[in-house]
Structure 1
Amino acid sequence: MSDEEPNGEPNGEPPPPDRRSGVLRRMTARGRDEEHRAATPLELFFDLCFVVAVAQAGRQLVHALAEGHPGHGIPGYLMLFFAVWWAWVNFSWFSSAYDTDDVVYRVVTLVQIAGVLILAAGIPRAFDEANYTAVWLGYAVMRLALVSQWLRAAHSSAGAERRTALKYAVGVCLCQVGWLGLLLLPDRAKPWVFLVMAIAEMAVPAIAERRQQTAWHPHHIAERYGLFTIIVLGETVSAATVAVQSALDEHEAVGELLPIASGGLLLIFAAYWIYFAVPIHLHLASNRQAFLWGYGHYLVLGSAAAIGAGIEVAVEESVGKAHISTFAASACVTVPAALFMFCVWLIHSRHYKRGTAQQLVLPVSALAVLACTFAGGAAVLLAGLVGVATVAVGVTLFTRNPPEPEPSPQHS
């Protein structure tokens, strides 16, 4: 007798989920061991729209640093970048677990995109005037759309999975109310509001998933972070290119700009190589590893975007448009570049390094990049050459002593 059951599936097993678009389907969790899971066109579109907000934050950071106001520019950048990054994180992890790709899901995702564009439009006013009205409104649009998705997931679930989805919905709503402090409290209190609410936001997933983990997919989530890293690095290249073009149009200072442009490009190329040197999805076995890795990307992505802003500042200083010293302009590039290298090692690549030599490459390189700050006008070029040397040494050591592959993650 055949093993085929009347439903057409071997041994009576349920059919795999149908991901063809429909108007409304039951929002059930996807399998964590699902094969051939990849980012969707909607997710890629979502990422591209988010980079608009990243670019706005970077542009405001450039203006503040070039005017010699790091005390205002850096905290403002960190606050606004967190809002953009955290909204992206929430969508990405949810979609990894519950992407139904039906019409309602797509429409709600497009609403979230509209929210980030509202947020992006409000970034200059928030930066210059501490007016967070548009930023809060855009954030509210994104978060309430996400709440509706969690409520859909709760409606389609039962037991511990349903309780997890409801905890997410309640937590996101409470945090959105807490962000009203940016609108209602005096300016001197707003940095403290940000600090408290950032901690509260990051506590929501830990609280919601304490009893039941969502069904995020290790390979899919690693790909999502990698794609967003690529897009941020691409925006860095674009910002640096526009800065060099503007300087050439106004000053034609090729001799001063060529070392900065070359060094900046080498740094960005090295950043790409360093990040994608290891297959991190094998490390993401449970929430314990994945949350630390995912949260750490706030510094990875924030520093990657800041490299482009630093290159712009260095270009402006070289043609006399920035009101800061050469040392300060160089630090605008070397500090985020060094931070990127160290953070990638700390949360990402060290899990695949074997031996002391491999483990020391990125931390030592980060220190070397920082030392380039003292090289005057050649600082950016030297930092770029350090990035190239880092890649070359890493490739050599890897070839001599490749890491043993980790076993496939066993999800708990």
Structure 2
Amino acid sequence: MELFFDLVYVFSIIQLSHFLLAHQDWLGALEAATLFAAVWWAWNYTAWATNWLDPDHASGRALMVVLMGCALLMAVAMPEAYSSRAGLFAGAYVAMALIRAGYMAILFRGQRMGRNYAQLCAWSGISGLFWIAGALLPEQRVWLWILAVLLDYAAPYHGFWLPGKGATPMESWPLRGLHLLERNQQVFIIALGESILLLGGMLVDHALDTGIVLAATIGFCLIVSLWSIYFVQLTEEGEHRFAHGSDHTKLARAGLAYAHGVMVCGAIVVAVAIEMMVAHPLDTVHVPTALVAVAGPAIFLFGSTLFHRVMSQGMRPAYLAAVAALALWGFVAVKLHLAGLWLGAGVLVVMAVLALSGRSKGTWG
């Protein structure tokens, strides 16, 4: 049932990629980031909920189907989320949040978990006011929705504190860390799958000349490098920490809810960068293309750094050095008026070096 639920996020990630492709400016990037934050948080809270309910029970299945329908409506509304379908996007997101939290509060009524979800529901209702207000006020929409996102993401770190109720302690949210880690791995695979879908679509729609084939090869190898860094260098580290650690809830909040979201966001931006480079492999690089090409891997590596920091209490300087190298290469590509192929090749070299030289355990030299 959980895998079936994830199917709608294949479509959601495609919609996010297409939105960013259609809005290649600073405002578009800000709007896309806000949409992604909502999409990710809706998936994240649902993944956490399945730690405490049985998604294969009849009522659990019914809840998952309803939530899946809400997520589908969010994805459908995404292309016009800041125009004609703002109400549909905000309404589906708020409904998803309130239905999920309300169901869990009722299911566990009289128990500590019921109180926890009642307070989460209250926070969802507060942020929901800003989501709905943004849908009703076009001129302030993006800022109201950013405020709503900040409230949603800040809530867990404040323990869903409410006047007269206090906060919900971390130890009152016991969960199966390894199961939640597996769920995050699955959604990361979905994000990489979006890159494959976009790359394949480009090859179907274009003549396979030398430039296209070379750009596609670079794009494919870039996808492989992300997979390698994630599953070879980070996954074993996370599994080991969850298998031997006792603070699963704290680890999952920082390492999965937040750090994984950043990594998934980076993978989506990489998919957009690959499509842009494959579409115009021999054209001179302009600032938007360079920014997207550099930002995708950099966001992914920033999330990877956060994940490693949470799981091992250490840093991987090579990741931060790679971000600096990517930024420098993007600047050079624009200044020297290089073709998209050269931009992509440089990005691939940086990511391939990380993928080939990294180790699943230990530190970087």
Q: TM-score of the superposition, structure 1-length normalised? A: 0.75
CA distances 1:347-370 after superposition (whole Å, capped 9, x unpaired): 23674498x8xx222222222233
Amino acid at match of 2:289: A
Q: Give the superposition deviation at 1:114.
A: 0.8
Matched, 1:346 2:306: yes
How many angstroms apart in 1 are the aligned matches of 2:94 and 2:117? 19
Partner Cα separation in structure 1 for residue 253 and residue 318 of structure 2: 25
Alignment of 1:288-307 (within 5 A): 288-293=250-255, 294-307=257-270
Q: Distance in 2 between matches of 1:194 and 1:360?
A: 34
Match of 2:281 among 302, 318, 324: 318
Given that 1:265 and 1:384 are in contact with CA atoms closer than 8 Å, whether structure 2 keeps it comes out as no
CA distance in 2, matches of 1:190, 1:382: 38
What is the distance in 2 between the residues matched to 1:124 and 1:94?
28
Aligned length: 340
The within-5 A match list for 1:214-363 is 214-248=173-207, 252=208, 254-276=209-231, 277-278=233-234, 279=236, 280-283=238-241, 285-293=247-255, 294-318=257-281, 325-348=285-308, 351-352=311-312, 359-363=316-320
- Alignment root-mean-square deviation, CA: 2.5
Distance 1:47 1:367, change over 3 A: same
The answer as to whether partners of 2:215 and 2:277 remain within 8 angstroms in 1 is: yes
Aligned to 2:94: 140
What does residue 105 of structure 2 align with?
151
The correspondence for 1:198, drawn from 143, 149, 153, is 149
Name the residue aligned to 2:33: 78
CA distance in 2, matches of 1:101, 1:172: 26
Q: Name the counterpart of 2:343.
A: 379
After superposition, what is the alpha-carbon deviation per residue over 1:261-313, rounded to whole angstroms, capped at 9, x for unaligned? 12221221111111122331444524433322222233211111111011112
Which blocks of at least 5 consecutive residues in structure 2 are unaligned? 161-166
Q: Counterpart in 2 of 1:168?
A: 120
- Map of 1:98 onto structure 2: 53
Of 281-290 and 80-89, more deviation after overlay is shown by: 281-290
Rounded Cα–Cα distance in structure 2 between residues aligned with 1:165 and 1:350: 25
Are 1:210 and 2:168 matched, yes or no? yes
Larger Rg: 1
Aligned to 2:163: none
Q: Distance in 1 between matches of 2:295 and 2:118?
A: 41
1:393 aligns with 2:357: yes
Measured in 2, the distance between the counterparts of 1:98 and 1:283 equals 24
1:79–1:103: structure 2 CA closer, same or farther, 3 Å change rule?
same
- Cα contact 1:150–1:165 (8 A) shared by 2: yes
- Give TM-score scaled by structure 2 length: 0.84
Question: Does the CA-based 8 Å contact 2:2-2:55 persist in structure 1?
Answer: no
Distance 1:243 1:73, change over 3 A: farther
Q: Which moved more, 1:278-287 or 1:108-117?
A: 278-287
2:262/2:303 contact within 8 Å kept: yes
Please report how far the alpha carbon of residue 131 of structure 1 lies from its aligned counterpart in structure 2 after TM superposition: 4.2
Please say if residues 326 and 350 of structure 2, whose CA atoms lie closer than 8 Å, have aligned partners that are also in contact.
Answer: yes
Distance 1:73 1:319 in 2: 25
Gaps of 5+ in 1: 1-41, 405-412
How far does residue 62 in structure 1 lie from its aligned partner after superposition? 0.9
Q: Residues 287 and 351 of structure 1: is their aligned pair in 2 closer, same or farther, counting only changes over 3 Å?
A: closer
**Partner of residue 67, structure 2:** 112
